[in-house]
Amino acid sequence: MILFEEVSKSYGRNITAVANISFKINTGEFVFLVGPSGAGKTTVLRLIDREILPSTGSVIVDDWEVNKLPKSKLAFLRRKVGFVFQDFKLLTDRTVGENIAVSLEILNKNRQEIDKRINQVLNIVRLEDKINYFPRQLSLGEQQRIAIGRAIAGEAKVLLADEPTGNLDPKTSWEILKIINKINKEGTTVLMASHNVDIVNSLKKRVIALNKGQLVRDKEQSRYS
């Protein structure tokens, strides 16, 4: 469950990235976050995994008030909430397997458990055969699949995806969506920022639309605009 209660985020005196927005996303939902560039989508996602703190209001993930979470609990939050970036942020000097291992090593798992989970994750994103490759040896779509694998490796309850198809061709974008949809069907809550009109319109999910930091629409089975 993700709950925003009258959340605002300002930078300095003049920039309001998010203005007094409230919404609730139940466990297991799949929600698109849409809106023009600068609308506040990335800000909303970053508030959820506490990369940034709200200026006012509260952000709640399950029974945690994220904005009040002590630093010592941040690792638990990041385990619960996986983040997929548009530009992947993979570690270029590590292999596919090692990139996924990174999010498991912080969870105090032993080598055997880590290897088992890497194989499970690579199976989910269908890249078993690339375990020893480096990111530069992969296509963009494959790199994005690894980024998704890394985000869910710690058995995340929530998957935040920030324009995960932004750099991909239509066919590859749909492959990514299939994987995200499957992860959602298995119980993970998904909140995905997207400019991809075709995908948002085809999937007919709940859509939360932002404009200039304001929440301007929140509708089930909706469309891009």
Ligand X SMILES: Nc1ncnc2c1ncn2[C@@H]1O[C@H](COP(=O)(O)OP(=O)(O)OP(=O)(O)O)[C@@H](O)[C@H]1O
Q: For Mg ion, which is the closer residue by CB, 41 or 150? A: 41
Q: Can you tell me the distance from the alpha carbon of 219 to that of 207, in angstroms, rounded to the nearest whole number?
A: 5
Contact 201, 224 (CB under 8 A): yes
As beta bridge partners, residue 215 has 210
Give the closest residue to 138 by CA, choosing from 180, 183, 88.
88
Q: Can you tell me the distance from the alpha carbon of 135 to that of 146, in angstroms, rounded to the nearest whole number?
A: 9
- Other beta carbons within 10 angstroms of residue 126's beta carbon come to 14
Size of the site for ligand X (CB under 6 A): 11
Residue span 40-79 as binding mask against Mg ion, x where in contact by CB under 5 A, dash where not: -xx-------------------------------------
Q: For ligand X, which is the closer residue by CB, 37 or 221? A: 37
Residue 38 as a binder of ligand X (CB under 6 A): the answer is: yes
Q: Considering only residues 32, 40, 84, 114, which one is a binding residue for ligand X as defined by CB under 6 A?
A: 40
Integer Rg of the chain from CA = 17
Write out the binding residues for Mg ion, residues 4-33 only, by CB under 5 A.
none
Size of the site for Mg ion (CB under 5 A): 2
Q: Which residues bind ligand X (CB under 6 A)?
A: 11, 15, 17, 35, 37-43
Which residues contact Mg ion (rule: CB under 5 A)? 41-42
